[in-house]
């Protein structure tokens, strides 16, 4: 692994990040790490005394500190914005997963598929007829790109992504392993003796810069399209039902279940493990707290919390109060007794 | 994509669906779409004025309307049952994902596996010893069919399905991508110093016409079988624990977690994101509302809701009342004060 | 399938398990089954009259009973500890999924990967540069082992496991199908007009004897490592966010969502469908009831329940009381009226 790991001296790093070495300019680090790391080849950042104390007592190799802070024990780079410098370092430390340009000899590409010359198709990928893969796109091993699909310029499908037919992925999208896009929406009709499957013949459309997490499922529409808007980010293990529409720049954390035909606006953020009822409507700029269950429409511009989700200011107090219910009930019983005594005393 | 997309003139379509063209018989449509679609090649249906207004102001190409309704702007087919006609159109618009008859040269089929002559085995599928694949079954690319498994007549395994060993799939089943059937049940025994794995040597059995959604997991039984009954439909991202038994024609929406040895009856419907406790028993014809958590047995023939799930009529009111808890508590405090004053005034 | 199924006469089995045949020593059984099984080739165990009655009326072939119990109808082995004997039988009935020693000719192994001579690599596995696979490890078909990954001695990756780069799997681990380890942590920064991706350059580290369920996702750390401790067992469809640390011998049931940077101690047990908030801290020896949502730190050594999770003794009563809220509210209204009448009567 060594040969594929980067390594910087502090003086090199200070120059790259726009900081100044405080000491030990030749000290070498290999990767950004958290302040509590015991990695002697790692470099962390601190912006508070609390984190500095954590770092001093950890085995971390070196630190990025604001000019006002000094480490008693660790080689240091001073930087006016340590957090920003650390973010730059994260970007520098990123190395792409290996994939060769062109089409791997084991990939099975249908003769009616269109692969841009600068796209990369990994081992054992399958691309079906009518599919098109854009410039610079990376299709990692074991991906299945169904007939009539399109993958936009510069998009990445990590290993083991499945696109059923007619799934359109915009430019600059990232689809993580195990994600399944375009499986049938869940539609059945009970006729009194049997569940009849409602054919699911629609599509899935992802706009630009969408990210889809590992093992997330986005169902095709019954008819029309299930749509994920520009810049929206979905975490792992999320269910997006058929005909759902999600707007721009929304961020949905892991394990959400979004019911069929639900509509979620722009810049919505949802915590982990949320549920949204079928046909539910969530307005723009809504925040939904983690583990909430949205069972009715949520007007835009507000925060919500709870199962069922209600405005967050009310919800956070209300759900915490559940623990007091047994006490509340015994106080109510006691009051009822006392009022009865008063009533009897009065009569 | 064009060449694999169907296309009909309205007069052709009217004949196929059993309706009558109101106008523009040569207008061509390619696919069924929702009434709010902007697809000029799409045809939608409306049965109410509200939907007709939506359709008139959308870019949809044509409409299916009851004889009593008229569109001001769109080419129209009149049909006595627009919804039914639309359902027929969905079925007509469905095209199977491509797979060639026979065994793809890259598939790895063990010599002790039995493949029916009319089955299709896609690229890079693996079929282990003792497995049998029935007539007309379709095994899409990257499926793994373990040793001793059977896949019934006409069943479909979409790309990337995993069957561990001894999984029996009945006739006419549909298993979506990423589903894993037959992984070990989750059984460990703590001896005070270590978790010991309890060997999981049972099976999974799916009866006929079962559908299993994308990325759903159905664990093998510790001993015996985990069983999914005839006609039951499971959505995406569902967990079915070891030794669970589910009856006939039940429908479970996405992200449910059904604990080990739970038993679910016939014609049960569960909304999304439900949880069922280990060994829980749910009777026939039960409906469980979305995001409910079943922590005790639920007698048949009723609807339930909530976490914990209680009869729905009570549950829907009760869970909505949580938001009023802070108010309720302050009213209780105020009452306590007033009663105390009354008591003091009385003494 | 027959030829790969074991089969024992009762006299053979009694000798292997350390029991005594009560009758029919030549009766043959093929597998352990539950007491309610109708499998005439199966053998079940009973330790109570209730289970014996179940077994007598089922079609199960034979029974393991304590010396004090007698079956009226089934061939029997007497054993001082029927449950223990059954556990031994489960272990005897376990057969490994087939995989040949060495590297399957279709596997794509990079020349810079290191495969121990006793490891098995199945069909269509991909192992990237810098990866190392330990002695006796089994890598089943369609697994993707990313660059810089290591898989320890005797570990198993079932079909369709994905390890992104820099994932370290300890010795004796079991990773079930569809699990994705090392996908990007979910980190984005909103700058007022766009979600910027925070590069995720850390690792995933599993200690020894960890088990990871089907379709579970464990994200790589932003920087540093996401860590799962020695002997910890994760069920199916679990989300482990970036930089999470879980201690030793913990057991987490299916469909849990553990938020980024959460810390879970040693010997923690969590029921199914739990959620843990980002940065949440759960102490050692905590038990969390199923379908709970942990929204604040939980001190060690206690049981918790509910959404939000509170100490279980309080929580179990409190959450059950939610159903009484409508009644409670009407009693409160009635009390308010009565107190008002008392106040008016008094004035």
HEC-encoded secondary structure of chain B: CHHHCCCEEHHHHHHHHCCEECCCCCCEECEECCCCCCCCCEEEECCCHHHHHHHHCCCCCEEEECCCCCCCCCCEEECCCHHHHHHHHHHHHCCCCCCCCEECCCCEECCCCEECCCCEECCCCEECCCCEECCCCEECCCCEECCCCEECCCCEECCCCEECCCEEECCCCEECCCCEECCCCCCEEECCCCEEECCCCCEEEECCCCEECCCCEECCCCCCEEEECCCCEECCCCEECCCCEECCCCEECCCCEECCCCEECCCCEECCCCEECCCCEECCCCEECCCCEECCCECCCCEEECCCCEEHHHHHHHHHHHHHHHHHHHHHHHHHHHHHHHHHHHC
> At a CB cut-off of 8 Å and minimum separation 6, what does A310 contact?
A304, A318, B323
Q: What is the largest CA-CA distance in chain A?
A: 97
Residue B6's pLDDT is: 80
Chain C CB contacts of B202 below 8 Å: 33
Token digits of residue A106:
């084991």
A292-345 residue pLDDT tens: 999 999 999 999 999 999 999 999 999 999 999 999 999 999 999 999 999 998
- Taking CA–CA distances from C123, the nearest residue in chain A reads A124
C192: closest CA of chain B, how far (Å): 30
Residues B308-318, mean pLDDT to the nearest whole number:
95
Chains that touch B (3 or more CB pairs under 8 A): A, C
Rounded percentage of chain B residues whose pLDDT exceeds 90: 95
Nearest CA to CA, how far is C64 from chain B (Å)? 14
For residue A140, the chain C residues in CB contact (below 8 A) are: 144
C4: pLDDT strictly greater than 70? no
Instruction: Return the pLDDT at A345.
Output: 83
How far CA A158 is from CA of B162, B292, B339, in Å, comes to 19, 34, 67
Give the N- to C-terminal CA distance of chain B in Å, as an integer.
89
Q: What is the ipTM of this complex?
A: 0.95
Q: Which residue has the tokens 């604001």?
A: A66
Instruction: Establish whether B81 is a catalytic residue.
Output: no
Nearest-CA distance from A231 to chain B in Å? 22
Q: How many CB pairs under 8 A join A and C?
A: 215
CA C239 to chain centroid, in Å, comes to: 13
The dihedral sign for the CA sequence B249, B250, B253, B254: negative
Task: For residues C139 and C123, give the distance between their C-alpha atoms in angstroms, rounded to a whole number.
Answer: 9
pLDDT digits (tens, 9 = 90+) for C162-180: 999 999 999 999 999 999 9
Strand A293-294 relative to strand A310-311, pairing: unpaired
C-alpha span between A295 and A273 (Å, rounded):
14
Beta bridge partners of A167: A204
Of the candidates B1, B91, B325, the beta carbon closest to that of A130 is on B1
Which of B146, B147, B198 lies closest to C90 in CB terms? B198
Nearest Cβ partner for B254 among A142, A178, A186:
A186
Of B148, B221, B277, the CB nearest to C1: B148
* Per-residue pLDDT, C6: 80
- The predicted structure's pLDDT at residue A347: 58
Q: What is the mean pLDDT of chain B?
A: 95
Chain B positions touching C343 (Cβ under 8 A) are 338, 342
Using one digit for the tens of pLDDT, what is the confidence trace for B242-251? 999 999 999 9
Looking at chain A, which residue has its C-alpha nearest residue C113? A1
pLDDT for B46 equals 95
Sheet with A114-115, side-by-side order of all strands: A114-115, A132-133, A150-151, A167-169, A203-206, A225-228, A245-246, A263-264, A281-282
Using CB atoms, pick whichever of C259, C332, C342 lies closest to residue A343.
Answer: C342
Strands (E), C213-256: 217-218, 225-228, 233-234, 239-240, 245-246, 251-252
Mean pLDDT on B194-199: 94
Reply yes or no on whether the pLDDT at B1 is more than 90. no
CB contact under 8 A, C214 and B129: no
The residue-averaged pLDDT of C56-70 equals 96
Chain A nearest-CA residue for C316? A323
**pLDDT < 70: residue spans in chain A:** 1-5, 346-347
Q: Which residues from chain C sit within 8 angstroms of residue B217, using beta carbons?
A: 178, 213-215, 236-237, 254
Chain B residues closer than 8 Å to A342 by CB = 339, 342-343, 346
Question: In this predicted structure, what is the pLDDT of residue C5?
Answer: 64
Q: Which residues of A are catalytic?
A: 242
In B, which residues are within 8 Å of A308 by CB distance?
319-320
Local confidence band at B4 (pLDDT 50, 70, 90 cut-offs): low
Q: Give the chain A residue nearest B293 (alpha carbons).
A: A307
Residue A151 confidence (pLDDT): 98
């Amino acid at each position: 692994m060594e040969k594929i790991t980067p390594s910087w001296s502090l003086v090199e790093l200070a120059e790259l990040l726009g900081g100044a070495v405080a000491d030990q300019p030749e000290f070498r680090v290999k990767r950004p790490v958290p302040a509590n790391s015991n990695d002697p080849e790692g470099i962390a950042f601190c912006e508070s005394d609390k984190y500095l104390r954590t770092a001093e007592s950890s085995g971390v190799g070196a630190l990025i500190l604001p000019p006002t802070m000094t480490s008693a024990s660790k080689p240091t780079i001073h930087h006016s914005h340590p957090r920003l410098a650390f973010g730059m370092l994260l970007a520098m430390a990123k190395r792409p997963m290996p994939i060769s340009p062109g089409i791997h000899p084991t990939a099975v590409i249908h003769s009616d598929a269109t692969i841009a010359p600068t796209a990369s198709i990994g081992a054992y990928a399958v691309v079906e007829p009518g599919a098109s893969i854009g410039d610079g796109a990376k299709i990692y091993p074991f991906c299945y790109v169904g007939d009539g699909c399109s993958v936009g310029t510069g998009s990445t499908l990590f290993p083991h992504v499945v696109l059923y037919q007619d799934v359109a992925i915009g430019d600059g999208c990232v689809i993580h392993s195990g994600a399944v896009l375009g499986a049938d929406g869940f539609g059945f009709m009970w006729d009194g003796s049997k569940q009849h499957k409602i054919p699911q013949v629609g599509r899935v459309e992802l706009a630009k810069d969408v990210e889809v997490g590992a093992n997330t499922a986005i169902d095709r529409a019954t008819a029309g399209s299930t749509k994920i808007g520009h810049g929206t980010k979905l975490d792992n293990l999320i269910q997006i039902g058929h005909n759902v529409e999600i707007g721009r720049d929304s961020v949905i954390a892991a394990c959400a279940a979004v019911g069929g035909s639900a509509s979620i606006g722009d810049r919505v953020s949802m915590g982990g493990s949320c549920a949204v009822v079928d046909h539910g409507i969530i307005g723009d700029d809504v925040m939904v707290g983690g583990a909430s269950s949205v069972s009715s429409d949520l007007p835009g511009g507000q925060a919500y919390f709870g199962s069922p989700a209600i405005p967050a200011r009310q919800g956070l107090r209300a759900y915490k109060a559940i623990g007091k219910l047994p006490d509340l009930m015994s106080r109510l019983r006691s009051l009822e007794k006392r009022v009865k005594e008063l009533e009897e005393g009065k009569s």
